[in-house]
Amino acid sequence: MKHLLTTKELSREEAELILDVTEQMAEAVTGREVPKLPALRGRTVVNLFFEDSTRTRTSFETAAKRLSADVVNFAAKTSSVNKGESLRDTALTLQAMGADAVVIRHPAAGAPQRLTEWIEGAVLNAGDGTHAHPTQALLDAYTMKKRLGGVEGRTVAIVGDILHSRVARSNIWLLSKLGAHVRLVGPPTLLPKDIDDWPVEIGYDLDASLKGVDAVMMLRVQRERQNAAFFPTANEYARLYGLDERRLALMPDHAIVMHPGPMNRGMEIAAAVADSPRATITEQVTNGVWVRMAVLYLLLTNGESK
Ligand code: CP
């Protein structure tokens, strides 16, 4: 593995290795007075973000620092991208500065793949358009492993704006590879059209789709990517596809509620559900740091030093 671009291209063995090393990272750092390992001392990780982020950017930064790497944060909004500099020239500049790994978030699907053609270091996709967000899916799988005891054989409903969701796409490929059953639930207008070859069941009725689930993953309605009216009103959407306390009661007692964040409280998820003990939303954020430590470590050392 030289780069991490999508979960679709990960083998099951590679995905399981990442989840095993994630566990080791969590164990190695938790409870330490100084929560740092020397594994990436002398390496430079660049965070190259062309889209807004709270969780992913800070999580990658924290992960790299916990592995003792030097971190450079590059925000497109305050860079020479604003003066017209291309992605290629930006990449060549980072290459000239000796970046060992570049973590990129970009609104265009495929931008991380293009970056691999211009730089020698590892490229980690932190979200490209509606295409992929592999570390989010890995942290989601790790959270299920911790909360549900595993992923194999579990049933996961992914609910809402599937059409615009890179989180959904990355989860579909990873979860199915790890042996989970995936149900997609949402209004027909927010389900992609060409998904006959996706390893999923489709449902339009949320109440019915919650029966027998082990986890439900609520997706944010991505208004910023929507160029048409996909549903009549926010109230109508919440009524049909929002997870509220009544619907939570339809789920088996052990089932967990996940959300990648950021959330639209009161729309896809009621505040009382987001704050309930069955929600794993803040655990997902914590687990994201361990997953990103594992991925940086594996890509930059081939698993050879710790
Ligand atoms: N889940 C996620 O990608 O969040 P951010 O957009 O805040 O990084």
What is the model's pLDDT at position 107?
A: 94
Q: How confident is the model at residue 261 (pLDDT cuts 50, 70, 90)?
A: very high
What is the model's pLDDT at position 84?
A: 78
Is there a single domain that holds both residue 223 and residue 187? yes
Which among 3, 57, 131, 133 is annotated as catalytic? 133
Which tokens go with 187? Answer: 């209004």
What is the model's pLDDT at position 103?
A: 97
Residues with beta carbon inside 6 Å of ligand 1? 53-56, 127, 136, 260-262
Lowest mean pLDDT among 75-79, 146-150, 288-292: 75-79
Is there a single domain that holds both residue 294 and residue 229? no
- pLDDT above 80 for 13: yes
What is the model's pLDDT at position 243?
A: 98
| 262 carries a ligand binding annotation | yes
Is there a single domain that holds both residue 263 and residue 297? no
The per-residue pLDDT of the chain, averaged, comes to 94
Distance in Å from the first CA to the final CA of the chain: 18
Is there a single domain that holds both residue 118 and residue 229? no
Whole-number Å distance, alpha carbon 285 to ligand 1 midpoint, is 9
CA separation (Å) from 142 to 22, 43, 86, 117?
8, 26, 36, 30
Domain membership of residue 3 (yes or no) is no
Could you tell me what percent of the chain has a pLDDT over 90? 84
Whole-number Å distance, alpha carbon 237 to ligand 1 midpoint, is 22
Whole-number Å distance, alpha carbon 162 to ligand 1 midpoint, is 16
Domain membership of residue 1 (yes or no) is no
Mean pLDDT of 275-279: 97
Pair 141, 178: CB distance under 8 Å: yes
Dump pLDDT digits (tens) for 80-119.
777 778 999 999 998 898 999 999 999 999 999 999 999 9
Pair 151, 123: CB distance under 8 Å: no
Closest CA to 135 of 277, 297, 303, 276: 297
Mean pLDDT of 218-229: 78
Domain membership of residue 61 (yes or no) is yes
Domain membership of residue 169 (yes or no) is yes
Best of 54, 135, 171 to mutate for ligand 1, by most ligand atoms within 8 A of CB? Answer: 54
- pLDDT above 70 for 227: no
Domain membership of residue 267 (yes or no) is yes
Q: How confident is the model at residue 151 (pLDDT cuts 50, 70, 90)?
A: very high
Q: Which ligand 1 atom sits nearest the alpha carbon of residue 51?
A: 6
Pair 95, 87: CB distance under 8 Å: no
Is there a single domain that holds both residue 91 and residue 225? no
Is there a single domain that holds both residue 182 and residue 226? yes
Domain membership of residue 257 (yes or no) is yes
**Structural domain containing residue 249:** 134-284
Is there a single domain that holds both residue 266 and residue 157? yes
Is there a single domain that holds both residue 239 and residue 185? yes
| 57 carries a ligand binding annotation | no
- pLDDT above 60 for 299: yes
| 261 carries a ligand binding annotation | yes
Q: How confident is the model at residue 152 (pLDDT cuts 50, 70, 90)?
A: very high
Q: What is the CATH number of the domain that holds 156?
A: 3.40.50.1370
Please give the model's pTM, rounded to 2 decimal places. Answer: 0.95
Question: Among this protein's residues, is 8 annotated catalytic?
Answer: no
Is there a single domain that holds both residue 240 and residue 119? no
Domain membership of residue 4 (yes or no) is no
Q: How confident is the model at residue 225 (pLDDT cuts 50, 70, 90)?
A: low
- pLDDT above 80 for 41: yes
Is there a single domain that holds both residue 192 and residue 290? no
Domain membership of residue 6 (yes or no) is no
Give residues with Cβ within 8 angstroms of 230, minimum separation 6. Answer: 161, 163, 187, 189, 190
Question: Among this protein's residues, is 254 annotated catalytic?
Answer: no
What is the model's pLDDT at position 85?
A: 83
Give residues with Cβ within 8 angstroms of 54, minimum separation 6. Answer: 261, 262
- pLDDT above 60 for 64: yes
Is there a single domain that holds both residue 99 and residue 197? no
What is the model's pLDDT at position 222?
A: 79
Q: Which ligand 1 atom sits nearest the alpha carbon of residue 261?
A: 1
- pLDDT above 60 for 305: no
Dump pLDDT digits (tens) for 154-195.
999 999 999 999 999 999 999 999 999 999 999 999 999 989
| 136 carries a ligand binding annotation | yes
Count the domains in the chain.
2
Is there a single domain that holds both residue 289 and residue 276? no
The residue nearest atom 6 of ligand 1, judged by CA position, is: 53
What is the model's pLDDT at position 226?
A: 65
Q: How confident is the model at residue 75 (pLDDT cuts 50, 70, 90)?
A: confident
Mean pLDDT of 220-226: 76
Could you tell me what percent of the chain has a pLDDT over 70? 97
Closest CA to 67 of 243, 296, 304, 272: 296
